[in-house]
Structure 1
């Protein structure tokens, strides 16, 4: 089967929505070095709510990009890690994150010129 993201009903659009989501991109980047616990992720991603992190992790797991592993401790300890599919996606996202860091000053200057410093 050949997928066509330009077709309105193609499921690749859902996948593109997932990987274009800022929270997903940040979570995947933090999982690159190895497994992370929920609270460690939450502490490192400033501005993400517990609810949004939970939703993001569930979606990434449903798409096969990460795995969730629970340990029988009190309270239960849960770790998340990349799957091979998630690692392959990170190899594409790493240059995107690096591009954003390298070019944010230029984008900010362009926004200032247009009077849109807040990103609108």
Structure 2
């Protein structure tokens, strides 16, 4: 059983699809795939994503151990960076295959 946003799933594929299918989630993962990034930088990269939505989706990804939020205190201020966890990194080949399949098989593909 998988609990994603208070929804119970018995199928792991459906549970993962529920996460990846949420607005901005795939773009967030893809944007931070290569390096650590701060919240403001991530928001600028995701043009059109509101601060509230970005916070919600980051919380979902952190809760599901896909993204890590590394917080460090420097001179009385907290510096927070986001990056993919080891399990988040394991999603990248899956997402690459999804992109390839979509481009080849969906009517909207190139």
Asked if Structure 1 and Structure 2 have the same fold, meaning a TM-score greater than 0.5 normalized by the shorter chain, the answer is: yes
Q: CA deviation at 1:107?
A: 2.0
**CA 99–44 in structure 1, closer or farther in 2 if over 3 Å, else same:** farther
The match for 1:96 is 98
Give, in whole Å, the separation in 2 of the partners of 1:55 and 1:61: 10
Larger helix fraction of residues: 1
Q: CA RMSD in A?
A: 2.6
Alignment TM-score, normalising by the size of structure 1:
0.69
Q: For the residues of structure 2 that align with 1:9 and 1:88, how far apart are their CA atoms? A: 21
Whole-angstrom distance in 1 between the partners of 2:9 and 2:101: 31
Work out the number of aligned pairs and report it. Answer: 100
Residue aligned with 1:70, SS: strand
In structure 1, the gaps of 5 or more residues are 109-120
TM-score normalised by the chain length of structure 2: 0.75
Could you say which structure has the higher strand fraction? 2
Whether the aligned pair in 2 keeps the contact of 1:37 and 1:79 (CA below 8 Å) is yes
Partner of 1:31: 32
Gaps of 5+ in 2: 3-7
Cα distance in 2 for residues equivalent to 1:40 and 1:10: 36
